[in-house]
Amino acid sequence: MKVRFWGVRGSIASPGPKTMRYGGNTTCIEIRTDNNELIILDAGTGIFPLSQTLLAEMPVSANVLITHSHWDHIQGLPFFIPNFIPGNTLRLHGGFDPVSGKGIEHVMSVQLQYSYFPVREEEMKARIEYVTLEPGVPVEIGSAIVTPCLLNHPVVDFGYRIDCNGKSVFFTGDHEPPYNIYEPDDEGYEQYQAFVEEKNQVILEATRGVDVLIADTSYTASEYPGKKGWGHGTFSTSIDLAHQCGAKVLFCTHHEPTRSDDALEQVFSDALQQHSAITRNMDIRLAREGDCYEF
């Protein structure tokens, strides 16, 4: 399998001289199975440069897995060039939105309203299909098995495990490890703690033994208290998950958009040092736009 990063910044695209080494595009990751089947994780601004490369291999059949519907994970969809060319297929996978009462098709319909984008879905030439997923229910995409796992974010948010020919990748999307919202002396503390422990166990089982774990590391441990409840992880929480699940490689991603590349490398180095007792024998990397990992 091949994993190529096309967007690794979180929340908002951050182009400029201070983000040139790791890239300024928002989340988009290309997965290629051993049979060269195309799976795309999220459709942030990074999907636009990815789509330019796909023009050399048309007709394109792209399976896009949307973790959740926040803008930085979907804003590139209207600019996915194969959508405008007959003979191509875009198959969009994602969760049901209980707020709108609609499936993943809502992501496209909202963005392509005529007030916000000059081309409506009916005018696109490619075949566009929608697959609404359920937590824990695997689906086949070519030779791969994709299993959604419900994670913790302010909206419905799926992590995805992709298994193919004995190889595996898990992508968390945006994820804040569940925590108890009650104080220890509160009446609901023990009951909610049981829920937290059960949820964390489900996530651990979903990630267990993966070859590649790609995880949300937006914040440092010291930054996290001021961001609690925003739905994002830290270097510490992701390193801990990778250690617990036995991931062979951890890629840290969803880089904080206000953090320069120099600052990013510094906080990464600090995190490795702080957790040196467990990171010494772990393969942990900063996700970098353009990098490809093959295994």
Q: Are 172 and 151 in contact (CB under 8 A)?
A: yes
SS3 (DSSP) at 215: strand
Residue 282, pLDDT above cutoff 90: yes
**How far apart, in whole angstroms, are the C-alpha atoms of residue 206 and residue 209?**
9
Given this model, what pLDDT does residue 99 score?
A: 83
pLDDT higher than 90, residue 82: yes
Q: What is the DSSP string of 118-162?
A: SS-GGG--SEEEEEE--TT--EEETTEEEEEEE--SSS--EEEEE
Name 104's Cβ contacts closer than 8 Å, sequence gap at least 6. 66, 92, 93, 94, 95, 96, 130, 131, 132, 133
Handedness of CA 95, 97, 98, 103 (dihedral sign): negative
Calpha distance 87→57 (Å, rounded)? 12
Q: What angle (nearest 5°) sits at the alpha carbon of residue 22, between those of residues 16 and 25?
A: 65
SS3 content of the chain, % helix, strand, coil (to 5): 30, 25, 45
Give tens-digit pLDDT for 141-177. Answer: 999 999 999 999 999 999 999 999 999 999 999 999 9
What is the overall mean pLDDT for the chain? 97
Query: How many of the other CB atoms lie within 10 Å of CB of 224?
Result: 18
Out of 4-8, 116-120, 245-249, pick the least confident.
Answer: 116-120
β partners of residue 173: none
Residues in contact with 117: Cβ distance below 8 Å, sequence separation at least 6, in sequence order: 78, 111
Among the ranges given (34-48, 96-110, 129-143), the one the predictor scored with the smallest mean pLDDT: 96-110
Rounded CA separation 162/31 (Å): 9
- Of all residues in the chain, the percent with pLDDT exceeding 90 is 94
Which residue range(s) make up the domain with 76? 2-294
Residue 21 has pLDDT above 90, yes or no: yes
- Give the dihedral sign, CA 276/279/280/283: negative
Query: In this predicted structure, which of 96-105, 156-165, 244-253, 266-275 has the lowest mean pLDDT?
Result: 96-105
> Going edge to edge, which strands form the sheet with 212-216?
139-141, 144-150, 158-164, 167-171, 212-216, 249-253, 283-286
φ and ψ of 75, to 5 deg: -70, -15
Write the CATH number for 271. 3.60.15.10
Q: pTM for the complete prediction?
A: 0.96
User: In this predicted structure, what is the pLDDT of residue 90?
Assistant: 97
Amino acid in position 158:
F
Q: 122 pLDDT exceeds 90?
A: no
Question: How many structural domains is the chain composed of?
Answer: 1
Q: Is the peptide bond before 135 cis (omega within 30 degrees of 0)?
A: no
| Rounded distance between C-alpha atoms, residue 224 and residue 130, angstroms | 36
